[in-house]
Structure 1
């Protein structure tokens, strides 16, 4: 199942649940509202429609004509004939004695209340109608006081039918609203899911193109949410892969050149010696050995970079006395500085000690010194020094050469990167600084570069200070 379908089903299910709960709750509240409405709007029969003086006056007139006393049922029948739109009930001590209810109407219950009487009437299978008679039964003139008379309009019996119709109407309305809202929710959920997943579709297409080898693909995702951040990271990944591909292409070209030149020289020299065109002496062998040394150095550099990046290069960390190491390094590079017409200065803090692998530390500093001699202007000043911080020791190499731009500084520690415009010689694959940075990382140190065009370069190696 596709992600869009699952998202739409999830949203639809949640919406269906919410609407279903709303429907059931609304029906429950509507039912309660109807019952409450009936209870609150029950007719108080002592104050509406048929006037009690009119009824009781007729009964009193019967007594004056000599027709009293009449049996209870006859009293009810006479009143029913006189007022045919009402039901009459004759009670004795709260017990029903006579009424004019037809066979289709039944009295379900009758009970006294604090204000009068309440009773329920039912017409056939329709819902029963609750009626509140808001006073005590009327006393009948000329009859015992325990007898009482009450009456209600026949029109009240239609209230149950109207109540049932109202409930059906509410139920149908709620059901229709629920169906329409559910359908609308599903449609909106589907559309929303499609809109929500559109950036992911772009990412999917981008990864597909990236996997097929199109490293120039980029995605455009607007916004500042997590998906936009993933899109930005995708673009950074594609850019890094494209840059890495260019570096490896350059590496292949450079390695082919660097290996082909000495190998061709060795092959040509050996063939010339075999053909007698060159003498077979020590000078020729030294030239062959120099070419083979260049090849060996290149292979060693690549192997070292592989070991450092994989973390498999063993490190022997121990306290190193920096103020003893730097003078030795100065002596080793003094001939190269003199040959380049540069002055080498030494700045050493007293009692400077750090935790490092002495061999790898020397290798890092040698790479930094070699780069500085290559890049800096002839006649310039090269500084090798050390200073102490609170918990770290810093060994730095500073030159006063042309410096680097911001873009070159950002890529200075990349593998195979060469700022060719600053090189005085091209026999390098751009691995020195990359190897130095990885060696520093393995020693829990950090190699940083501070530079600007025309202001030279300052390389700082921050190491853990030894106690």
Structure 2
């Protein structure tokens, strides 16, 4: 299945490679094309400047010394081959050639622009010799005395330079295309590697490996952030799945005993003679076990409602000091029967917005656990303190304590440190305490060590009198 999934990603990798190579290639073509365009224009402009300078020099001779002197200068340059890099031609007003100086291979240059079309501005035209594969750029203008001067320059060197640049351009473009394909392939693989890792991880999880995780690349970018969140989600899912399995195992274990007792009670009632007292006692035991199962289901429902945020709370002003004193008085009788001393320090009145019934339920579970696990002659203490912005309730006991391995799990539903289930209970009390406090915006923590007892610390946010509506009256006496 993994290979088939990876095969579906190959077109994506190919498309990324093609897109990257295409963008890289056409960007390079555009860059080199613009460079060639500006280089060609600059070179051509430089040629015209050189020709224009030459024309200006000869025009100055005609202006200062006359057209005949200019004719003699051009003839002398032709005789002594002074200007072999330039083509020079002087015509009169009728178009007749007065003087001309040019290399032999430039013979046959056309007259160019008619004299009547010229003025003192330079006019340009070009002539190309197909035989010599050479191009001549020519500038023409009217000079003093009515003459027309044509000055040309061979563009062979320029054409060679631009041709060399074009060859280099094609070579670089081909290399750029190859580099784009290689870079696109590497980029596509690097980009899709987290997705491939994700697919492999999901395939492993699909096969039952809940510990499989997507490897981190260590780049610290958005993909690493995504991988970190995904792995955290997998950790959460694994924790939930593991907890659900353990919850189901614990529920099955805890329900087996009452169901077995109910079955035995029903069987005893069936074999009991009509009107016998044994049958009524068996049915009473069945009713008690049914009540125990119903209590377990109700508690599980309460915990689920609190954890999902749908628990119905009747919020009002509650004096925690009075509530702590009330619960200490109630459980004082139970502690006395077991030989445990229960003391309370409710302190000054502390007002919070809470559901009084749910808070009684949470404190009752904490005190019930403390009394239940404290041996005879031991001591249980409940106190209330005011901290900055919070109210803190502490329930301490002299019980056996909780091991560090069990402490992170004691607030899980149906989890019991006593694996043998020798102490009667549902394993839901502390889970309900945490759920109720979470619904109130508070929290519960445990401080414990084996052989040193335990202390459960409840923290609830304080409220101002404006939130309470009417603050509760302070407890007197």
User: Could you state the TM-score of these two structures normalised by the residue count of structure 1?
Assistant: 0.75
Tell me the CA shift for residue 36 of structure 1.
Answer: 4.5
2:193 to 180, 195, 198: 198
Q: Does 1:433 align with 2:430?
A: yes
Deviation at 1:317, TM superposition (A): 0.2
Partners of 2:247 and 2:178 lie apart in 1 by 61
Normalising to structure 2: TM-score of the pair? Answer: 0.74
Change (3 A) 1:430 1:188: farther
Q: CA deviation at 1:92?
A: 6.3
Matched residue count: 430
Match of 1:419 in 2: 417
Q: Secondary structure at the match of 1:280?
A: helix
CA distance in 2, matches of 1:248, 1:103: 101
- Which stretch of the first structure deviates more once superposed, 73-82 or 272-281? 73-82
1:314-346 Cα offsets, whole Å, 9 max, x none, are: 111011122222222112212333355432221
> Is the Cα contact below 8 Å between 2:366 and 2:430 reproduced in 1?
yes
> Aligned partners of 2:456, 2:350: CA distance in 1, in Å?
20
* Distance of 1:20 and 1:7 partners within structure 2: 20
1:162 to 157, 163, 183: 157
Shift of residue 352 of structure 1?
Answer: 1.9
From the superposition, tell whether residues 321 and 209 of structure 1 become closer, same or farther in structure 2 (CA, over 3 Å): same
The SS at the match of 2:155 is: helix
After superposition, give the CA deviation of every residue in 1:131-164 in whole Å (9 maximum; x if it has no partner): 799xx99xxxxxxx95999998xxx75x223323
Report the aligned-residue RMSD.
4.3
Deviations 1:146-195 (A, max 9, x none): 5999998xxx75x2233233323322322331232133113212212202
Which of the two has higher C-alpha Rg? 1
**What is residue 215 of structure 1 aligned with on the other side?**
210
Asked if the contact 1:45–1:132 (Cα under 8 Å) also holds between the matched residues in 2, the reply is no
DSSP 3-state at the match of 1:193: helix
Which of 123, 127, 135 aligns to 1:122? It is 127
1:104 corresponds, among 92, 106, 109, to 109
Could you list the per-position Cα deviations for residues 225-279 of structure 1 after superposition, in whole angstroms to 9, with x for gaps in the alignment?
3333433443333333333333333322322232222222122222223223884
Deviation of 1:222 after TM superposition, in Å, equals: 3.1
Report the alpha carbon displacement of residue 405 of structure 1 after superposing the two structures with TM. Answer: 5.4
Deviates more, 1:196-205 or 1:397-406: 397-406
Assess if the C-alpha contact under 8 Å between 2:307 and 2:439 holds in 1.
no
Q: Is residue 32 from structure 1 mapped to residue 41 from structure 2 by the alignment? A: yes
Of the three residues 252, 265, 275, the one matched with 2:248 is 252
Deviation, 1:87, is: 5.4
Retained in 2: the 8 A contact 1:79–1:88? no
Q: Which piece of structure 1 moves more, 91-100 or 14-23? A: 91-100
Q: How does 1:47-446 map to 2 (within 5 A)?
A: 89-90=89-90, 98-100=98-100, 102-107=107-112, 122-124=127-129, 127-129=135-137, 157=153, 159-223=154-218, 224-276=220-272, 279-280=277-278, 282-376=280-374, 379-401=377-399, 403-404=401-402, 408-420=406-418, 425=422, 427-428=424-425, 430-443=427-440, 445-446=441-442
CA 1:332–1:425: 2 relative to 1, 3 Å: farther
**Conserved? CA contact 2:442–2:461, under 8 Å:** yes
Structure-2 change in CA distance of 1:200 and 1:338 (3 Å): farther
- Distance between the aligned counterparts of 2:373 and 2:17, measured in 1? 62
Q: Quick check: 1:254–1:429 contact (8 Å CA) kept in 2?
A: no
- Is the partner of 2:127 in helix, strand or coil? strand
In 1, distance between residues paired with 2:213 and 2:244?
21
Q: How far did 1:369 drift?
A: 1.8
Distance 1:417 1:275, change over 3 A: closer
